[in-house]
Amino acid sequence: MGNKASLLQLDALELRARLASGAISALEVTEACLDRIAERDDLVRAWAWIDPGFARDQARKLDDHRKAGRPLGALHGLPVALKDIIDTAKIPTENGCKADAGRVPLQDAFIVERLKQAGAVILGKTVTTELAFMQPGPTRNPVNPDHTPGGSSSGSAAAVADFQVPLAIGSQTGGSVIRPASYCGVTGFKPSFGAIPRRGVLMQSPTLDTLGVFARTPLEAAMLAEVLFGHDVQDKATTPAPFPQLLDIARKDPPVKPIFALIKPPGWADADPQLHDAFAELAEAMGEQMFEAALPAVFDQAAELRERINFAEMARCYYRYDRKGENTLGPLTREALDKGAQILARDYLSAMDWAQIYGAALDEVFSRCDAIICPAAPGPAPKGLDFTGSAIFNGLWTMVGTPAVTIPAFTAENGLPMGLQLVGPRGEDARLLRNAHWFTRWLDTLGA
């Protein structure tokens, strides 16, 4: 393995330390990413836009900044990929939609401003499904290109999994961070609703849309997410709050061994038998640290209610695309818009009420555990590229706004990864990441 390629095997925390010390340069790391992309992009197809010259120019400026002895940002020199629904000034942001081909924003999104302030290299824009919904894009699963990478943050998950970039950003309205992370074998972190401002990001469903991050471990996810958390007056979902110490807290040992509640959510019976076996083995290995908690029967309609909220708000937010005619959108997006346009106001408002009811019911479970454990997806990534997979195990947590993190804990017989998901109380993001870090170390002891 060459020196450049070996850099990409380092986790983002180690890269950050070496960049800060001057042991490696931002240009070296960026060149390693560009070489890997050149080698693999024809197969994986994770990128919607990338300009090697632009990436190198950022890296050189950051290296000059460090050599001048100036203070370094929290992500100094680290390349980061952005899902192509996140506005970048003077850089195409086409939302995976032919109606937006050639669209170039004039301003950066809130999170892009934050990344630049932190010294990150904006490496490029990653493929999203059409308008961040379910019409698949060209990206393939890097573990096996005959299988889907998931959606809608397909390019971000695949790029991190294939060692093309150490960190990436996506979004989730149903399961679009957690599911592709599970399918591709990386860590995906969807924070509490409202934790990361969405100004400058394509809005599909204001009640559900949540920005999230991709990395290889919970600690790396904590490092990236910490930079993005904040308050923005233009995003009413955000609130003024102290700067979160996600990474410092996630690194610490829990005061006592965490207790996990195993939940088999609606859809469990239809999941892959391999997943059932994996969770049975996990429960046996964890012993008294895990207990099974059953959700009340009213949770059986959660997927339908979340979809109702999603489609109703989608019909409103995407009306401008709908007006452009039948040929503008793919059939899956068109079908969702048609359904959304037919939803009655009373049914939409009722679904919104249920989100609060579900949240209150989950509080009782959280009172007895440190985190919930459940599957991240019904099994390994499905074969074929015409279906991005089911979000049946993700939508509930998006609907109630709780933070969730997926860990690539299992491997299917065909070699594809299967993730499990840890879920924490809303607003307890740092604690959830600490439990996720503990869990990854515990998994390592099993394999030792």
Give per-residue pLDDT as tens, 385-423: 999 999 999 999 999 999 999 999 999 999 999 999 999
Q: Which of 179, 297, 159, 215 is nearest to 14 (CA)?
A: 215
Please state the φ and ψ torsions of residue 51, each to the nearest 5 degrees.
-130, 100
Residue carrying structure tokens 């074969």:
383
Residue 241 has pLDDT above 70, yes or no: yes
Nearest C-alpha neighbor of 446 from the set 415, 407, 414: 407
Q: Set out the domains of the chain in order of their start, with CATH numbers.
A: 1-448 (3.90.1300.10)
With both helix axes pointing from N to C terminus, report the angle between 110-117 and 218-228 in degrees, rounded to the nearest 10.
Answer: 110
pLDDT above 70 covers a percentage of the chain that reads 99
Helix (H, G, I), strand (E, B) or coil at 400: helix
What is the DSSP code (8-state) at residue 25?
Answer: -
pLDDT digits (tens, 9 = 90+) for 42-85: 999 999 999 999 999 999 999 999 999 999 999 999 999 999 99
d(CA 419, CA 421) in angstroms, rounded, equals 7
Query: What is residue 327's predicted lDDT score, i.e. its pLDDT?
Result: 77
At 309, the amino acid letter reads I
Q: How far apart are the first and last CA of the chain?
A: 25
Cis bond before residue 152 (omega within 30° of 0): yes
- Alpha-carbon span 204 to 202, nearest angstrom: 6
pLDDT (0 to 100) of residue 448: 47
User: How far are the Cα atoms of 5, 333, 356 from residue 214, in angstroms, in the given order?
Assistant: 20, 25, 28
Catalytic machinery residues: 83, 152, 176
Q: How far is CA 114 from the centre of its chain?
A: 18
* pLDDT value at residue 336: 96
DSSP string, 114-155: HHHHTT-EEEEEE---GGGSSS--S---SS-TTB---SSSHH
